[in-house]
Amino acid sequence: MPGVPAIAASVAPADSAVAGQLFDRLIESLLRGSQPWEPIESRIPGTGTATLRNPGPAQGTLIIVRDALPAAIVSKWSSRVQFVTGTEVAAFDLRQPRRIYTFAPVFKTGQFATLSFNYRDYVARAANEAPSGSAGGTTYYLMLFNNEWVMISEGWWIT
């Protein structure tokens, strides 16, 4: 069995099929306001079930920086999501209320994958006031279990 250094050395960006599948599920869950993956505990008899955070459905237009996303995902969701580039975000008036998501590339090794995103929330401010808001992020640690992705852990932060 390989040790941790060998496993860590094998981590690489996921191929576009896997990345697309995981991004697709994440975007759908953001629109629905639900968790994208079941916890592994729900699949193993005799274990407890995890209590998951439910952020609720996206309020207003869902804005996602498309820089790390496969073109097929942008095309699929473009009628329900406003996709922008990092350059376009830099030109936004941050005094307008909005939430902007930025996804990191999906990484994978064997049957394991990680998917991370950060978000920035801005609140309405007058033209003479500085932008104000908060930020947060989530990383999902996933495992392919019986041909289905399940969450084995989740980490998150917020300011």
CA pseudo-torsion sign 75, 104, 38, 100: negative
Topology given in CATH for the domain delimited by 4-158 = Nuclear Transport Factor 2; Chain: A, (3.10.450)
| pLDDT tens-digit readout, 54-113 | 455 556 678 999 999 999 999 999 999 999 999 999 999 989 988 899 999 999 999 999
The alpha carbon of residue 44 and the mean position of all alpha carbons in its chain are separated, in whole angstroms, by 25
Contact 93, 126 (CB under 8 A): no
Contact 156, 139 (CB under 8 A): yes
The percentage of residues in the chain with a pLDDT greater than 70, rounded to a whole number, is 83
Contact 114, 103 (CB under 8 A): no
Assign 45 a pLDDT band (cuts: 50, 70, 90): low
